[in-house]
Amino acid sequence: MTLRINLTVIALLFSASVGVAADEVAQYSVREGMPDKLIATYEDQQYWLTNEQDQDTKYSLEFMQSIYLHEQLDLDGDGNIDLLFTATNGGASAVGSYYIASHLGDHYFTITSAEELYTYGGYELLNQDDGSTHIKFYHSLDGVGFHDRIDGFSTHKLSSGKLELVSSVVSHAQIPTLMDILSSDLEQVGEKTYEFDIDSDGTLDKFLCSYWARWGDVLCDIQLSSIGLIKQSWGTDHIGVAETKTNGVNDLVIEWVGLKKFDGVKFVQVK
């Protein structure tokens, strides 16, 4: 669960502890346009924050069209308010990258990111004993060319205006399966039918699968010999037939650790 922190509360607490007025901390906003512009206001002066002209940056905002603000807080414990935001180069379904705008005092602001922060996943704020806050980012990618399992997270801290990797974890757990269907198997052939007796009536049932090119996913309708065709509208990189059963039908494993169970009519997400 993501920890939400109110900027006003932070500013008041900071003011009370070190004698700095609330209006002397940086505040961030987005000036909407094509593209959006990130604005920082400090001591009544507005600054446009961009790293487009920084030839050495690895994570440029040059081609980003939309900016979304998430958290305004002091990440490194230096008394200045920093910003966690997302920037994308497309529409609402485009994968975003997380960035940090770090305030180093006066008019000094810098933008930092990391390779692991190009993700659909969420994040979690981790308060530290020294007054700083680490951020745990959950990894998740989809789209053409992304077929491998991406299930893990990385933890980062802000130090002297730069994000530093604290740890990176990949999950090695998966729900046991009897048969697996992968999106990568469909990329070249487009369509394929898989057979497995998932309702245990002695007749092979059919997984009628096709490749969803836009997302790089596999879509499978299921033809059960006992009740007929079950249409599915969701895509995934992995579908597995689980060892467990519900209402006499094998459960489905989705993305290695998700689970769908048969309710007598359709498969519903339970995990």
State the distance between the two ends of the chain, measured CA to CA, in whole angstroms: 16
Encode pLDDT of 239-269 as tens digits: 999 999 999 999 999 989 999 999 999 999 9
Residue 102 near residue 109 (C-beta atoms within 8 A): yes
In the predicted model, is pLDDT for residue 59 greater than 80? yes
In the predicted model, is pLDDT for residue 231 greater than 80? yes
199 Cα distance to chain centroid: 35
**What's the rounded Cα separation, in Å, for the pair 143 and 192?**
20
In the chain, domain spans:
7-170, 177-269
**What pLDDT does 46 receive?**
97
Structure confidence at residue 13 as a pLDDT band (50, 70, 90) = very low
Secondary structure class of 30 (helix, strand, coil): strand
**What pLDDT does 120 receive?**
80
Encode pLDDT of 98-113 as tens digits: 999 999 999 999 999 9
Structure tokens at 83: 């910003």
**What pLDDT does 189 receive?**
93
Nearest to 90 by CA among 141, 36, 147, 139: 36
Residue 137 near residue 153 (C-beta atoms within 8 A): yes
246 Cα distance to chain centroid: 31
**What's the rounded Cα separation, in Å, for the pair 209 and 218?**
7
